[in-house]
Structure 1
Amino acid sequence: MLTYLLLFINIFLVTVNTAVNSLFMLLVAVVKLCLPTPKLKVLATRAADKSMWLWATINLGILSLSNRVTWDIEGLDELKKEGWYLLISNHVSWTDIVVLCSVFKDRIPMPKFFLKQQLLYVPFIGMAGWALDMPFMRRYSRAYLLKHPEKRGQDLATTRRSCAKFQYHPTTVVNYVEGTRFTAQKHQKSRATYEHLLMPKTGGIAYTLAAMGEQFDKVIDVTLAYPENRATPFKDMLMGKMTRIVVRVRLLPVDEQVMGDYFHDKRFKRQFQQWLGQVWQDKDEALKQINKC
């Protein structure tokens, strides 16, 4: 009975927190529309970032009050607030966004999540994402490009435009390389060669590196796990049942292994796929050890 009461209370508190901060971001977006120069628009973005920081801080407070969580975190020492990072992570549940924002909010620039171009036109979500300078990505399928060859290269151009604004202030861009949340059904369907992960998709991260790779100081490789709440971590967190959250962080160099012409150089494309495959193999081994504990 108590757990369902906590579920109701936490949903209410998180909803109110999200609604209030979203409203502020919408107001910032309106002001941002009226500002004449990119540098002035950056000031509006920083105000929206502060609101997202507050949202993450309050959510962390709700999580801490409702759950007796043991935080098991390694690898944060070399991070800096004034840096440019590409953050890649496995994706377990909706809990991941709360955890990432909570863990990294005072250590690196506020994370920016790639959003689909279509979300730009969704009421509230699109404006709030635009106020936060979330990068919007438009991707064309291979079948579509065969029918419309004139569109070839435009998805990369859209990504470059979305990322161009990041040159004005330190930024963290987040990419969930698997493209979707992990479930047993998706794992079986994907025929993944990993025990705890889906197959990584190279396209999204390649687009990001092609658009602004020279600006990144490091790639932050994050491994998330909820070893005692693996089935339903988000529901368990809302019900006060979350007991242990594991976060492992590795800093990877932005070097010749990840910088190259992924879209036209087949040799580099194979090299990049091998690099990401090895990163994911290391992550899977780490998850095997974490889930044994």
Structure 2
Amino acid sequence: MIASLPGFIRLPLAMLLLALNTVLHVLALFSLTFLKLLSPMRTIRLACSRALVAVAESWIGVNNILFGVFTRIRWQVEGLDGLRRNGNYLVLCNHQSWVDIPVLQKVFNRRIPFLRFFLKSQLIWVPLLGPAWWALDFPFMKRYSKETLLRHPELQGKDREATRRACEKFRHMPVSVMNFVEGTRFTPAKHDAQSSPYRHLLRPKAGGLAFVLDAMGDALHAILDVTVVYPQGRPTMMDLIAGRVRDIRVHVRELPIDAALMGSYDEDTAFRGRVKLWVNTLWSEKDARAGRMLMAADAAPTGD
């Protein structure tokens, strides 16, 4: 019923409720974080960490309810059987839009350990959400341009050290580490600039994947290969909130972690070649799968 309200009523109401949900949950996160920082007892800090995750999962759960009430999205999700709440996963996904994040949160919330993303360091300044991500142990990465590294060679490898420190923290808790392997969202301009050999994807970057596996590979149980497509085209967050996204398709495939993917990406040239080959093969399969998913959507009956 609410999804059929006129847009000038539905959109402000949806944004108000989403904002209210965020503020209330972030306040709860801040209270628990304050208690965690002040407590000298490890047991209390661990309890606070678990409570922080529960609050974050509650926030996602309420968001999912709101999107369900205010939108008419047709979901088709495959491959969720056998996933474990107490497993440790490396989640690899193509990246088309900021909508990918709420999509992944909806698909995996309370099915696998709470998803943590590698974030650009600037995002810590996002009002409310930046400090909340910090409280939830999201790793913030500072990337340096080639020009900066030439001027300051002492910064070489700092981002890799930050990856290892973040992953070391994850060794002692159930975790799902999220990696958008393309490193940026897909656009036709980026696709052309890269001369990408894939029809629906950008070129993958193997380095980040290799560093995560090197830092905590033996603590991970599996890789989750996730493909997300939007048959109507890449949406914006406003498209999602406004109910203009009508069809989302997600395919999940669990893969074993091959021992051949463990090694030193910087120092071992042969290992670097193996990882790049593995990622490129995975991306070729993903590109073909995305094409099949879009074709199936085109052939499916339309209508609400």
TM-score by length of 1: 0.91
1:5 aligned residue: 9
Change (3 A) 1:232 1:155: closer
Q: Would the aligned equivalents of 1:90 and 1:176 in 2 still touch at CA under 8 Å?
A: yes
CA displacement 1:205-257 (0-9 Å, x = unmatched): 22222221221111111001121x31435333222233222110011111133
Displacement, 1:267? Answer: 1.0
Q: Give the fraction of aligned pairs with identical amino acids, expressed as a percent.
A: 40
Alignment of 1:205-244 (within 5 A): 205-227=209-231, 229-232=232-235, 234-244=237-247
Look up the match of 1:63.
Answer: 67
1:1-293 matches, cutoff 5 A: 2-36=6-40, 40-120=44-124, 124-227=128-231, 229-232=232-235, 234-293=237-296
TM (normalized to structure 2)? Answer: 0.88
Gaps of 5+ in 1: none
Does the CA contact (< 8 Å) of 1:29 and 1:130 recur in 2? no
Structure 1 pair 186/150, CA: closer, same or farther in 2 (3 Å)? Answer: closer
Distance 1:53 1:271, change over 3 A: same
The verdict on how the C-alpha distance between 1:177 and 1:37 changes in structure 2, with shifts beyond 3 A counting, is farther
Letter in 1 for 2:16: F
Measure, in 2, the Cα distance between the counterparts of 1:201 and 1:143: 20
Q: Give 5+ residue unaligned stretches, structure 2.
A: 297-304
Aligned length: 292
Aligned partners of 1:268 and 1:289: how far apart in 2? 32
CA deviation string 1:10-60 (max 9, x = no partner)? 222212212221222122222221133555433222212111111111111
88-97 vs 134-143, which deviates more? 134-143
Deviations 1:104-158 (A, max 9, x none): 1121001011122344466644431221111222334444344433333333222
Distance 1:122 1:38, change over 3 A: farther
Cα distance, 1:74–1:220 mapped onto 2, change above 3 Å? same
